[in-house]
Structure 1
C-alpha cells in the first residue's frame, strides 16, 4: 500500500493534480476559461455602466442642447427657402447668388470646416448616447432570459412585488 500511495501522491498529491496541470499546458481548461470570460464580460459591463451613466443636467445645458438642435433644420429649411425664392423672384435670387459668388474661397473652406466639426461632434454625441442605451438594454438581457425560461417551463413569472404576491395568495384562498 505504501508504494502505490507514494506513486499516487506523486501524481495527484499535495493538494495538486499534476496530471491535470500537465494536460492544461496543452489544452485550455474550458471551465476556468468560461469563468475568466464571464469575469471579463462583467467588468466590461461595469465600465460601460460607469462611463455612460445618465448625468444630471441643468437648465443651461438643456438650453444649449436646444440651441444645438437648430442648425440642421435651419440649413434644410433655408435651402428649401432658396428654391422658393428662385421661383418667386428670380431677379432677387440672382442678385443674392451674385453676392455669394464674391465670397473668397478660403472663407468657403472655413465654413466647410466649421460645419464638418459641428456635425461630427453631433454624430459623436449621438453615438455615445446610443452606446449608453445599448449597454442598458444588454444589462437587462439576463432578467429577460430568466423570465422567458420561467414562461417556457410553464411556471409563472416571479413577482418583483411582494405585496402583489401576498394579495394573489389571499385571493386564491377566498
Structure 2
C-alpha cells in the first residue's frame, strides 16, 4: 500500500526525482530545445519569404533601388572634386547658385538624408523669414560673383582688351628680358 501511494505521488517509473523536480522547476534542457526549435522555425519562415524564386520583379527592382543612394552620393561627391579641378569656372557658377538655396531647404535635405541613413536628427528652431530675407539679400552678390567668374573665362570676348590704352598695348607687345630664356640660348 505504501508503494502504491508513493507511485501515485512520484510517478510510476523512469526517473522519479526528475519528474518530481519538474513540477517545481522548468526542465532547462527541454526549455533550451523548445527555444532552438522556435528560432529555427522563425528563420525557416523568414528564409521562405526571401527566397529568390518567391520574389517578383517589383521586389527585385526595389532592392536594386535601395542599393543606389550610398554609392551615388559617394561617387557624386568625388565627381564634384573632379569637376572643380577640370573646370573651376563651371564649378564656381554651380556653387554660387547653391548659395541661393534657402536654409530651411538645406535643413529638409539634411533631415531626409539623416533619416534615410538611420542617423538621428534634431530639428533646430530657426526663423524662416530671417533665412529667406538673408537669401534674398545674397542674390545680388551671387549674381555679381557669377559675372566675375564668367569674365575670367579665357574664351570670353574682350578679356585681353586694353581699353584703348596705346601704351598698355605696346608694353604687352614689346619683348622683355627673360633670364631663363637667355641662359638657355647661351648654352645652345
The list of structure 1 runs, each at least 4 consecutive aligned residues, that deviate by more than 6 angstroms after superposition, is none
**2:74 is equivalent to residue 76 of structure 1:** yes
In the TM superposition, residue 46 of structure 1 has moved relative to its aligned partner by 0.6
Take 1:82 and 1:9, find their aligned partners in 2: how far apart are those partners? 90
In the TM superposition, residue 80 of structure 1 has moved relative to its aligned partner by 0.9
**2:29 is equivalent to residue 46 of structure 1:** no
Give the one of 95, 106, 109 matched to 1:108.
Answer: 106
Residue 21 of structure 2 corresponds to 24
Take 1:34 and 1:9, find their aligned partners in 2: how far apart are those partners? 30
Larger Rg over CA atoms: 2
Residue 65 of structure 1 corresponds to 63
Q: 1:39 to 1:104 in 2, by over 3 A?
A: same
Describe the superposition over 1:54-109 as per-residue Cα deviations: whole angstroms up to 9, x where unpaired. Answer: 24122232223223322222211111111111112222222211211221122112
Whether the aligned pair in 1 keeps the contact of 2:10 and 2:20 (CA below 8 Å) is no
RMSD (CA atoms): 3.1
**Unpaired runs of at least 5, structure 2:** 119-188
Give the one of 30, 42, 62 matched to 1:35.
Answer: 30
Take 1:105 and 1:13, find their aligned partners in 2: how far apart are those partners? 83
Take 1:98 and 1:89, find their aligned partners in 2: how far apart are those partners? 14
Q: Give aligned pairs, total.
A: 111
Take 2:79 and 2:98, find their aligned partners in 1: how far apart are those partners? 16
Q: Which has the higher contact order (CA 8 A, sep 6+)?
A: 1
**Unpaired runs of at least 5, structure 1:** 121-174
In the TM superposition, residue 113 of structure 1 has moved relative to its aligned partner by 2.3
